[in-house]
């Protein structure tokens, strides 16, 4: 704040007006900045802008990041699922594979192929976890979400009903081999498939199972859709483990994991379509 100095009035006849002075004994930094050369003032301003931009980048969060990495994976999966549903709605229906789930007309033979290929994938996943090529995998041993043994029971039931159990087909064989290759060299991508396979089955997979059972199994609930214990708690336990593992990853490794979601959907979708074959 500026202060008025005592006013001194000049009677000098050469002056045509009064003279007085204003003194500012302690100018603030803002005034001092105005006294700087223009080049320095601009440099100071640039530093402030740069610092602000850096802070904003530091605060930037990925969708779901505040709740943990599992929420990031869920967000990406839901966004991809919604996008594929939109594309599905734009298609002209030409084959069973292009029809929405609600309009499917499953067959027992096709469903058996789906179950056999699904069992191969779960066998592969659970064998990889048991042998733990990377220490990370050991965190997911005996989670209660395992499905291979349940599928073996279901296939035995179909056999008792007089159905012939087929051999695994190309979709299951291809996905199984892909998971083996990932597990040995790319743990982040492998974890993406682990998450999407188990969590998708606990949600959308159960819905599909109910629809198929209504149409061809007289509403029989297969063991594939049953869990020992409270499913919500089992899923929560695995969420916590996944979040803990991801805390050790860099942002680049997390993004790499998220980018694998598309391939997870692709391989799983090919197996799912076997229900219609």
CATH number of 69-275: 1.20.910.10
Q: What is the DSSP string of 137-196?
A: GGGGTT-S---HHHHHHHHHHHHHTTPPPPPP-HHHHHHHHHHHHHHHH-HHHHHHHHHH
Report the DSSP beta bridge partners of residue 3. 23
Summarize pLDDT for 84-114 with one digit per residue, the tens. 665 555 454 343 334 444 467 899 999 999 9
Does 56 have pLDDT greater than 70?
no
Q: What is the mean pLDDT of residues 146-166?
A: 98
Q: What is the pLDDT of residue 24?
A: 44
CB 152 within 8 A of CB 247: no
Instruction: Report domain extents, the chain.
Output: 69-275
How many helices (H) and strands (E) in the chain?
A: 11, 2
Q: What is the mean pLDDT of residues 47-66?
A: 59
Average pLDDT, the chain: 82
Does 5 have pLDDT greater than 50?
no
């Amino acid at each position: 704040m500026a202060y008025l100095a005592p006013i001194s009035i000049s009677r000098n006849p050469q002056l045509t007006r009064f003279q007085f002075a204003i003194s500012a004994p302690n100018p603030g930094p803002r005034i001092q900045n105005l006294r700087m050369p223009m080049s320095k003032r601009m440099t100071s301003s640039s530093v402030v802008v740069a610092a602000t931009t850096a802070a904003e980048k530091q605060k930037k969060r990925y969708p779901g990041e505040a709740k943990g990495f599992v929420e990031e994976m869920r967000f990406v999966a839901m966004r991809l699922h919604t996008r594929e549903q939109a594309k599905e709605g734009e298609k002209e229906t030409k084959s069973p594979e292009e029809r929405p789930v609600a309009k499917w007309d499953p067959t027992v033979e096709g469903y058996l192929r789906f179950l056999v290929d699904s069992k191969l994938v779960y066998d592969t996943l659970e064998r990889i976890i048991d042998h733990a090529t990377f220490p990370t995998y050991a965190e997911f041993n005996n989670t209660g979400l395992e499905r291979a043994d349940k599928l073996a029971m279901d296939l035995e039931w179909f056999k008792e009903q007089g159905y012939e159990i087929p051999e695994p087909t190309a979709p299951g064989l291809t996905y199984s081999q892909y998971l083996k290759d990932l597990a040995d060299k790319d743990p982040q991508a492998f974890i993406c498939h682990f998450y999407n396979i188990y969590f998708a089955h606990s949600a959308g997979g159960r819905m599909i199972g109910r629809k198929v059972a209504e149409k061809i199994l007289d509403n029989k609930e297969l063991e594939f859709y049953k869990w020992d214990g409270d499913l919500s708690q089992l899923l929560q336990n695995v969420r916590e483990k996944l979040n803990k593992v991801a805390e050790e990853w860099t942002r680049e490794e997390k993004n790499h994991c998220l980018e694998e979601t598309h391939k997870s959907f692709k391989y799983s979708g090919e197996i799912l379509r076997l229900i219609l074959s």
